[in-house]
A and B are shown apart, each in its own frame.
Chain A
């Protein structure tokens, strides 16, 4: 079966660093995605990991450990506009994505 777990909600302060964790159990792993979704909008692609290690893209970084079934999204220098839901998704060999229920992040001034 497939199972993806991430915290439901997190809060942080503007300018701080926050780490959103994602653990997964799945067969046929073919990459892990992070998407950002602002309230009332569509998910947008943030990052992709298929090999172990850290991928950095500006203020956002994503890490993957396949042996542990674990990923995290790291957001640095938080801004108010980073308040959104962050969705972890695992891709199977069959090309479909299985999404976690998302982590709602609130950034306070």
Chain B
């Protein structure tokens, strides 16, 4: 299995630009999670989906952030407009109820820098 795939791995953009992060979960996994990690705040859950439906978006910072999951194999996290304080590593993770502990598998992350 290829694991969770994220793209791009690195993104550098200017303040005010739109940023789209992409994620392909592990095949067969029905949960997908988006996290943001910074030195100050650690790993924070932004939103998660179950069977492509958003379940909890209470961690989304503000209206500038949006996430979609049009099908079981693809999800996007969009920031528009981006701001310097959005600079962080964004992780996507997926999990399956068939796993022994329902543990989450993380993708390699997208390192976002907003200048």
Q: Are A and B subunits of one complex?
A: yes
Interface positions of A (Cβ within 8 A of B):
31, 33, 41-45, 48, 87, 91, 94-102
Report B103 CB to chain A, min CB distance, Å.
4
Size range of the interface on B?
A: 20 to 34
Interface positions of B (Cβ within 8 A of A):
31, 33, 41-45, 48, 50, 55-56, 91, 100-109
Q: How many A-B residue pairs have CB under 8 A?
A: 47
Report A9 CB to chain B, min CB distance, Å.
13
Report B64 CB to chain A, min CB distance, Å.
22
Q: In the complex, what residue of chain A is closest to B106 when comparing beta carbons?
A: A42
User: Across the interface, do A45 and B103 meet the contact criterion of CB distance under 8 Å?
Assistant: yes
Known A-B contacts A42-B91, A45-B103, A48-B101; the reply to A98 vs B108 at CB < 8 A is no
A90 to B45, CA, bound (A): 12
Given contacts A87-B42, A95-B55, 9 further A-B contacts (CB under 8 A): A43-B91, A43-B106, A45-B101, A97-B104, A98-B45, A99-B42, A99-B44, A101-B42, A102-B43
A100 / chain B contacts, CB cutoff of 8 Å? 42
Known A-B contacts A42-B91, A42-B108, A42-B109; the reply to A96 vs B103 at CB < 8 A is no
A76 to B107, CA, bound (A): 28
